[in-house]
Chains A and B, each alone.
Chain A
Amino acid sequence: MSKFVGQSVKRKEDLRLLTGTGKFVADLRMENMLEAAFLRSTYGHARIKGIETDAAKSLEGVYAVITSNDIEGEIKPLKQFDSHCILPPNLIEEIDPVINYNFEDVLAKRKVTYAGQPVAVVVAKNRYIAEDALALLKVEYEPLEALVNPFEAEKGDAPIIQEHMESNIQSHFLVQVGDVDKAIEEADYVLKKRLRTPRLSSNPMETRGVLANYDAVTGKFRVWSSTQLPYEVRSTIASLLEIPEESIHVTAPEVGGGFGPKGGVHPEEILIPYLSRMLGRPVRWIEDRIEHLAAARQSRDQIHDVEVSYKKDGTITGIKDDFIVDSGAVNYFALTCAYNTAYHLRGMYKIPSYQSKCRVILTNKTPNVPFRGAGRPEATFVMDRVIDMIARNLAMDPVDVMKKNMIQAEEMPYDQGILVKDGAQLIYDSGNYPDALDKVLEATNYKGFRKKQQQLKEAGKYVGIGISSFIEGTGSGPFESALVKIDLTGHVTAHLGSSPQGQGHETVFSQICADDLGVTPDQVTVVVGDTGVLPIGAGTYASRSAVNAGSAIHEASQKLQRKVLEIAGMLLDNEVEMLNIENGTIYAHDNPEMKLTFVDIANAARPSKSSKLPEGMEPGLQVLHYFVPPTVTFASSIHVAQVEVDKETGFVDIQDYSVVHDCGTVINPMIVEGQVQGGIAQGIGSALYEEVVHDKNGQVLTGSYMDYLIPTSMEVPTVKMVHQEYPSTRNPMGIKGVGEGGAISPPAAIANAVVDALTPLSIEITKVPVSPGYLRELIKEAERV
């Protein structure tokens, strides 16, 4: 019975965060701690002829200056993540993938391949002195041709970025269903477009940071990192330094936002522990914002060439997509974003013939990794711009084109005829998309807007409305772990492998556990972000924690509840089915006077000769459960943006933003709404403001917040939300993920709204951000026609 699941329980995390007592990595300070700073490449592509370190080394307060020569043979290179590179055999058969091995040295060796790449590291008494030393380092570079355009980079005669490879095409695949060429041949119309999504920087307000302390006596490392994946950090340090995982204890303390790029292991997370061992002192590195904007991994950056066949009535019969991912200098995540794009592109629509051909190309830019949405915002931008273009070509309302192609409620579960990356068939498990569309159109008063729009346009106000929808495979595996235990005081503690960055894990998972064990969330302590207890765990990314950690804690709690009841049954001499747990006490329906507490049960279960346990039951009150999802589960959402365009200046003002979404069973509505609103803010950033720009030499031009623009409170409206709750069929509680969703649709919804606002002037937005300069160019182009 759910008493707490479904309630907006206030967050346990807030007290410490509101009083300034929560500890982020930068707040941790150890005795004798030294601070590190990195010298980073100022070139996109260059050979390192030599590094002069003497002056820096002799500076007072400097303890070490390390270049790749100094660590030769001591630290293995950071290679592509195995867990993402190994594909199931049936998927390999179906998409014929090639993934060429690629890697990055933790400090650049012989050459640099992107601006921001670590070239040397200084350890000093404090950050000020470390930066003084950086200024004394002299690197002699021989510039090489920088490849910033992936179309140039993939050419046969282009310089090779990863020199062991034969070309810069790091990976590719082809996925298809139906007969797209035939569909194009037989179509009434064919639309051909090139659409782009920008390179983005994730910009959690807390930058990255690592603190490590090596204990020479025990031979153990203690590491604190601002990461989404403490277990992955542990295993990567272990493998690169060739030490057992057991000797490394990683904690993700308070983590100030992650959004994807903190989910992965960066060179600094290896070097800092190494330096601590080398110097015999704690060493800390805190990334500054300028480093973050250049060196922290970036995302999106796709270019799609689509051909779409459609009928006079708006039915889309086929999509042929040939796209590239500009991966930067290393592709750590193999096909993760690229295949996400490919399998999500058709979204809520039934499009029988589909072909998606992808090349992941290395360029001289910062490595491209998953960022909130991970390939889905790109797919959605393509699909929904296409829907909008088709509607305009046919003089139809975009809503009618959506309806024409939308999967109907009675068609669920719906099989899209291809595979998910984990090898499962791509089947949407639950949802009702037409109902979602009706609901959101009502919320935004679509009909009313259309009526009013004509008058406003006549009065010279360029107002428009744009729609975008998506489905999202959430809760990807491989697994998540939970250990739930009751101690001798009767208190419940749950350890989870998942590790939060603001999502409120301590609160939501205590709600689940509390319901299962018949206690209150206050009586459950949820411990996350620490490799100290559980043998293995995964982490928080890919909208997966509620699904996987939620299911893991649910299953573990259920098993523990069963054990508690069985012990109680024995002690009360009653059938388990007759027992109840309420507020931490156990009693039988037919004899409510006879009560037991968790303390009684814990004592009975205590391992000893006098344990009072049913025959054959193991002592102890703890249950470890690994939840392994069968495959992803499909959340869905539709966004509607209303905008006003200042036609003369090209500025876009968002006047209303409405959303309907389905994330299955909602654990905590307050937190779900917070995730959606926050995701949309990032999506608005991508739609109108944000883009990492490199010059032709691979230099980052958006190196500070003066040039990389994050939306403020003046640019992000309060979103109207409507909820649907179609439980997932792929986990016991019916949960679907919600963390990323908000960020997926805004670029398409806003671009469509801008186009609509300027109609009858026919502009064609093919990329975001829709900056005022870009929009003015489009307007002028359209006016010339």
Chain B
Amino acid sequence: MNKRIVALTINGVDVQRKVASRMLLTDFIRDELKLTGTNVGCEHGVCGACTILLNGESVRSCLMLAVQADGYEIETVESLQNDNGTLNTLQQSFKDCHGLQCGFCTPGFLMTVTSFLKENEDPTEEEIREAISGNLCRCTGYANIVKSVQRTVQSQRTSKSLTEPVCHTDHKQNETVQIS
């Protein structure tokens, strides 16, 4: 009962390890799976540095045992880059807007925002601030993080509107869209 097998999918890869039952999910990800992008800031669920996605939802990996994640799909900061290795829109926006300084809290913010923007594609500043309020940053004073999220929304909207005309030229497809 002290050890248990944990099988889960992380960043699209199936993994299986036998670990101590008391091992925190954060340590499982960092020490067992060697994905050290997820950082440990407080281990009592306040700072949000260890935020990951569990079946697409943001959670604090320091407040979960690895065994609790058995069977789940996990995404960490290492999953964000585009397939060709370039920064994704959110990461690029953080770079463009200087949304990070020391970078320690950054992976947590990126994961929180990744999940948030899936649920809210066009947030107000207040909604953005609320969404990131579970992540502490001691360097930036948050302003540029808010700006980075706004920039991401803007970029996503632009790229969407760029593809829209393609949709409109296809009359049938347009109808289908309306029906659904």
Chain A residues with CB below 8 A from B106, complex form: 17-18
Interchain CA distance A207-B80 in the complex, whole Å: 25
Tell whether, in the assembled complex, residue A17 and residue B103 are in contact, meaning their CB atoms are under 8 Å apart: yes
Residue of A nearest to B40 (CB): A26
Given A205-B41, A710-B138, A29-B31 contact (CB < 8 Å) = yes
Chain A residues with CB below 8 A from B43, complex form: 288-289
CB-CB contacts below 8 Å: A1-46 with B: 8, 10-11, 13-24, 26-27, 29
Smallest beta-carbon distance B53→chain A, Å: 13
Tell whether, in the assembled complex, residue B101 and residue A678 are in contact, meaning their CB atoms are under 8 Å apart: yes
Chain A residues with CB below 8 A from B91, complex form: 18-19
User: Is B87 part of the binding interface, using a Cβ–Cβ cutoff of 8 Å?
Assistant: yes
CB-CB contacts below 8 Å: B62-100 with A: 76-78, 80-81, 87, 91, 94-96, 98, 100
Given A671-B98, A677-B141, A716-B142, A706-B77 contact (CB < 8 Å) = no
Residue of B nearest to A679 (CB): B141
User: Is B47 part of the binding interface, using a Cβ–Cβ cutoff of 8 Å?
Assistant: yes
Smallest beta-carbon distance B67→chain A, Å: 14
Interchain CA distance A674-B137 in the complex, whole Å: 12
B interface residue count range (under 10 / 10 to 19 / 20 to 34 / 35 or more)? 35 or more
A interface residue count range (under 10 / 10 to 19 / 20 to 34 / 35 or more)? 35 or more
Tell whether, in the assembled complex, residue A11 and residue B46 are in contact, meaning their CB atoms are under 8 Å apart: no
Smallest beta-carbon distance B50→chain A, Å: 11
User: Is A64 part of the binding interface, using a Cβ–Cβ cutoff of 8 Å?
Assistant: no
Tell whether, in the assembled complex, residue A14 and residue B94 are in contact, meaning their CB atoms are under 8 Å apart: yes
Which of A11, A18, A207, A705 is packed against the most chain B CB atoms within 10 Å?
A18
Interchain CA distance A299-B87 in the complex, whole Å: 39
Tell whether, in the assembled complex, residue B142 and residue A705 are in contact, meaning their CB atoms are under 8 Å apart: no
Residue of A nearest to B44 (CB): A704
Given A18-B94, A19-B80, A256-B39, A714-B133 contact (CB < 8 Å) = yes
User: Is A680 part of the binding interface, using a Cβ–Cβ cutoff of 8 Å?
Assistant: yes
Chain B residues with CB below 8 A from A27, complex form: 30, 36
Smallest beta-carbon distance A396→chain B, Å: 32
Smallest beta-carbon distance B62→chain A, Å: 10
Residue of A nearest to B45 (CB): A705
Tell whether, in the assembled complex, residue A677 and residue B140 are in contact, meaning their CB atoms are under 8 Å apart: yes
Tell whether, in the assembled complex, residue A682 and residue B138 are in contact, meaning their CB atoms are under 8 Å apart: yes
Tell whether, in the assembled complex, residue A204 and residue B102 are in contact, meaning their CB atoms are under 8 Å apart: yes
User: Is A423 part of the binding interface, using a Cβ–Cβ cutoff of 8 Å?
Assistant: no
User: Is B7 part of the binding interface, using a Cβ–Cβ cutoff of 8 Å?
Assistant: no
Which of B23, B47, B139 is packed against the most chain A CB atoms within 10 Å?
B139
Chain A residues with CB below 8 A from B42, complex form: 289, 704-705
Tell whether, in the assembled complex, residue A714 and residue B137 are in contact, meaning their CB atoms are under 8 Å apart: no
Please tell me which one of the listed residues A10, A205, A670 contacts residue B105 in the complex, with CB atoms under 8 A apart.
Answer: A205
A-contact bits for B139-174, CB 8 A (1 contact / 0 none) = 111111111000000000000000000000000000
Interchain CA distance A146-B139 in the complex, whole Å: 35
CB-CB contacts below 8 Å: A545-598 with B: none
Interchain CA distance A677-B22 in the complex, whole Å: 40
Tell whether, in the assembled complex, residue A14 and residue B103 are in contact, meaning their CB atoms are under 8 Å apart: yes
Chain A residues with CB below 8 A from B102, complex form: 17, 204-206, 254-257, 501-502
Given A205-B102, A257-B104, A289-B141 contact (CB < 8 Å) = no
CB-CB contacts below 8 Å: A223-268 with B: 254-257, 259
Please tell me which one of the listed residues A14, A677, A716 contacts residue B100 in the complex, with CB atoms under 8 A apart.
Answer: A14
Chain B residues with CB below 8 A from A327, complex form: none
Smallest beta-carbon distance A255→chain B, Å: 7
Tell whether, in the assembled complex, residue A674 and residue B140 are in contact, meaning their CB atoms are under 8 Å apart: yes
Dominant secondary structure at the A interface: loop
Chain A residues with CB below 8 A from B81, complex form: 19
Smallest beta-carbon distance B81→chain A, Å: 6
Residue of A nearest to B93 (CB): A18
User: Is B59 part of the binding interface, using a Cβ–Cβ cutoff of 8 Å?
Assistant: no
Tell whether, in the assembled complex, residue B49 and residue A713 are in contact, meaning their CB atoms are under 8 Å apart: no
B-contact bits for A255-291, CB 8 A (1 contact / 0 none) = 1110100000000000000000000000000101110
Interchain CA distance A24-B140 in the complex, whole Å: 19
Residue of A nearest to B92 (CB): A18
User: Is B35 part of the binding interface, using a Cβ–Cβ cutoff of 8 Å?
Assistant: yes
Chain B residues with CB below 8 A from A774, complex form: none
Interchain CA distance A586-B139 in the complex, whole Å: 41
Tell whether, in the assembled complex, residue A677 and residue B44 are in contact, meaning their CB atoms are under 8 Å apart: no
Smallest beta-carbon distance A6→chain B, Å: 16
Tell whether, in the assembled complex, residue A203 and residue B144 are in contact, meaning their CB atoms are under 8 Å apart: no
Smallest beta-carbon distance B9→chain A, Å: 18
Smallest beta-carbon distance A590→chain B, Å: 42
Tell whether, in the assembled complex, residue B143 and residue A710 are in contact, meaning their CB atoms are under 8 Å apart: no
Smallest beta-carbon distance B157→chain A, Å: 21
User: Is A443 part of the binding interface, using a Cβ–Cβ cutoff of 8 Å?
Assistant: no
User: Is B110 part of the binding interface, using a Cβ–Cβ cutoff of 8 Å?
Assistant: yes
Number of A-B contacts (CB under 8 A): 179
Interchain CA distance A254-B103 in the complex, whole Å: 9
Please tell me which one of the listed residues B31, B78, B138 contacts residue A259 in the complex, with CB atoms under 8 A apart.
Answer: B138
Given A15-B87, A22-B103, A677-B141, A714-B35 contact (CB < 8 Å) = no
Tell whether, in the assembled complex, residue A11 and residue B104 are in contact, meaning their CB atoms are under 8 Å apart: no
Chain B residues with CB below 8 A from A710, complex form: 47, 136, 138
User: Is B37 part of the binding interface, using a Cβ–Cβ cutoff of 8 Å?
Assistant: yes
Tell whether, in the assembled complex, residue A19 and residue B37 are in contact, meaning their CB atoms are under 8 Å apart: yes
User: Is A103 part of the binding interface, using a Cβ–Cβ cutoff of 8 Å?
Assistant: no
Residue of A nearest to B100 (CB): A17
User: Is A681 part of the binding interface, using a Cβ–Cβ cutoff of 8 Å?
Assistant: yes
Chain A residues with CB below 8 A from B87, complex form: 15, 18-19
Tell whether, in the assembled complex, residue B142 and residue A257 are in contact, meaning their CB atoms are under 8 Å apart: no
Tell whether, in the assembled complex, residue A716 and residue B143 are in contact, meaning their CB atoms are under 8 Å apart: yes
User: Is A128 part of the binding interface, using a Cβ–Cβ cutoff of 8 Å?
Assistant: yes
Please tell me which one of the listed residues A20, A29, A204, A290 contacts residue B138 in the complex, with CB atoms under 8 A apart.
Answer: A204
Residue of B nearest to A126 (CB): B31
CB-CB contacts below 8 Å: A462-502 with B: 501-502
Chain A residues with CB below 8 A from B34, complex form: 29
Smallest beta-carbon distance A88→chain B, Å: 34
Given A14-B100, A710-B136, A716-B141 contact (CB < 8 Å) = yes
Residue of B nearest to A719 (CB): B143
Smallest beta-carbon distance B44→chain A, Å: 6
User: Is A718 part of the binding interface, using a Cβ–Cβ cutoff of 8 Å?
Assistant: yes
Interchain CA distance A452-B53 in the complex, whole Å: 47
Chain B residues with CB below 8 A from A504, complex form: 101
Residue of B nearest to A18 (CB): B91
Smallest beta-carbon distance A504→chain B, Å: 7
User: Is B117 part of the binding interface, using a Cβ–Cβ cutoff of 8 Å?
Assistant: no
Please tell me which one of the listed residues B31, B36, B44, B104 contacts residue A705 in the complex, with CB atoms under 8 A apart.
Answer: B44
Which of B39, B104, B136, B142 is packed against the most chain A CB atoms within 10 Å?
B104
Residue of B nearest to A503 (CB): B101
Chain B residues with CB below 8 A from A83, complex form: none
Tell whether, in the assembled complex, residue B129 and residue A714 are in contact, meaning their CB atoms are under 8 Å apart: yes
Residue of B nearest to A26 (CB): B40
Smallest beta-carbon distance A648→chain B, Å: 24
Smallest beta-carbon distance A61→chain B, Å: 11
CB-CB contacts below 8 Å: A59-91 with B: none
Chain A residues with CB below 8 A from B40, complex form: 26, 286
Tell whether, in the assembled complex, residue B103 and residue A10 are in contact, meaning their CB atoms are under 8 Å apart: no
Chain A residues with CB below 8 A from B104, complex form: 24, 204-206, 254, 256-257
Interchain CA distance A21-B78 in the complex, whole Å: 8
Smallest beta-carbon distance B28→chain A, Å: 12
Tell whether, in the assembled complex, residue B137 and residue A205 are in contact, meaning their CB atoms are under 8 Å apart: yes
Of the A-B pairs whose beta carbons lie under 8 Å apart in the complex, a sample of 15, sorted by A's number, is: A14-B94, A14-B103, A27-B36, A128-B23, A204-B138, A205-B136, A288-B43, A674-B101, A677-B140, A681-B137, A704-B46, A705-B46, A705-B47, A712-B134, A718-B142
The chain B residues found within 8 Å of chain A, CB to CB, are: 20, 22-23, 30-31, 34-44, 46-47, 49, 76-78, 80-81, 87, 91, 94-96, 98, 100-107, 110, 128-130, 132-147
The chain A residues found within 8 Å of chain B, CB to CB, are: 8, 10-11, 13-24, 26-27, 29, 126, 128, 203-207, 254-257, 259, 286, 288-290, 501-504, 670-671, 673-674, 677-682, 704-706, 710, 712-714, 716-719, 742
Pairs A-B, 10 closest by C-beta atoms: A20-B37, A17-B103, A256-B104, A502-B102, A681-B141, A502-B101, A705-B46, A27-B36, A20-B77, A677-B141
